[in-house]
């Protein structure tokens, strides 16, 4: 299965996307270019105040400690060969116990950020109708497709940061088609069981729901 290659806009024009590896350099660029726009968003915002260089270091350190193979991606709009406007940052681990059934492996999304529209308008010199849409769905789709490439059948998991409040819960459940993990399910042993216990904000894709979610974005591949 191929990754998405385009992002739709309200104007009907599709913008070309490119996926590249997350590096320390990219975390610093995001913190300098994008994070000020994130911090200026009014209302609930999961990644407000984040320092991506530290988030990436945390993913690498803890993921490596537990043998979970940390990795990250940057997704950007690439209108020409010289331009690359980052719109998604995500850090993952490639071998994490599947949330509803720890006997299976899955991909787990540690941290995920979507660039605000105001940043995208400024960086792309575009109006509100000409910036990429469906970016959260695209980010989840990238995680699903990578899970397929790893042989996990699309199984992924993630945690909706409390700062995102119910808006983020609805985004993962309704827009991304994910399943909310029951609060009575104990997380696998490790960092998250202690530092971010299950309080009803964990979500996952099964093999069936992952496939259904990817089909909704086939027009972007």
Q: Which domain holds residue 128?
A: 6-220
Q: pLDDT (tens digit, 9 = 90+) per residue, 71-115?
A: 999 999 998 878 899 999 999 999 999 999 999 999 999 999 999
Position 2 confidence tier, pLDDT thresholds 50, 70, 90:
very high
Distance of alpha carbon 120 from alpha carbon 131, whole angstroms:
6
Domain count, the chain: 1
Please check whether residue 111 is in contact with residue 158, taking contact to mean a CB–CB distance below 8 angstroms: no
Joined tokens for residue 159: 């945690």
Q: Hey, how many other C-beta atoms are within 10 angstroms of the C-beta on 204?
A: 22
Confidence of residue 122 (pLDDT cuts 50, 70, 90): very high
Q: What is the pTM of this model?
A: 0.96
- Which pLDDT value is given to residue 6? 97
Residue 111's nearest CA partner among 151, 138, 71, 146 is 71
Distance CA 32, CA 123 (A): 13
Q: How far is CA 188 from CA 101, 114, 169, 194, in A?
A: 9, 28, 21, 10
Q: What is the mean pLDDT of residues 153-173?
A: 97
Residue 1 domain flag: no
Q: Would you state the pLDDT for residue 80?
A: 80
pLDDT of residue 170: 97
Distance set, CA 127 to CA 11, 56, 123, 148 (Å): 10, 32, 11, 36
| Mean pLDDT of the region 160-185 | 97
Please indicate, yes or no, if residue 75 is contained in any of the structural domains: yes
pLDDT tens per residue across span 5-63: 999 999 999 999 999 999 999 999 999 999 999 999 999 999 999 999 999 999 999 99
Residue 211: inside a domain: yes
Q: Is residue 165 situated within a structural domain?
A: yes
Residue 102 belongs to domain with CATH number:
3.40.630.30
pLDDT of residue 81: 78
């Amino acid at each position: 299965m191929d990754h998405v290659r385009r992002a739709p806009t309200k104007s009907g024009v599709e913008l070309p996307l490119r996926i590249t590896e997350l590096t320390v350099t990219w975390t610093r660029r995001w913190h300098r270019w994008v994070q000020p726009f994130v911090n200026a968003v009014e209302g609930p915002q999961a990644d407000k105040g984040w320092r991506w260089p530290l988030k990436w270091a945390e993913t690498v350190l803890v993921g490596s400690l537990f043998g979970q193979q940390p990795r990250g991606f940057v997704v950007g709009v690439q209108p020409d060969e010289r331009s690359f406007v980052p719109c998604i940052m995500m850090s993952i681990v490639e071998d994490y116990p599947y949330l509803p059934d720890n006997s299976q492996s899955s991909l787990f999304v540690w941290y995920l950020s979507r660039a605000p529209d105001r940043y995208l308008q400024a960086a792309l010199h575009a109006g509100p109708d000409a910036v990429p849409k469906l970016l959260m769905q695209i980010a989840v789709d990238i995680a699903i497709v990578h899970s397929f490439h790893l042989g996990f059948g699309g199984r992924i998991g993630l945690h909706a940061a409390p700062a995102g409040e119910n808006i983020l819960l609805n985004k993962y459940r309704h827009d991304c088609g994910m399943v909310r993990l029951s609060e009575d399910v104990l997380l696998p042993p490790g960092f998250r069981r202690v530092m971010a216990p299950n309080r009803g904000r964990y979500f996952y894709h099964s093999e069936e729901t992952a496939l259904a979610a990817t089909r909704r974005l086939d027009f972007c591949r």
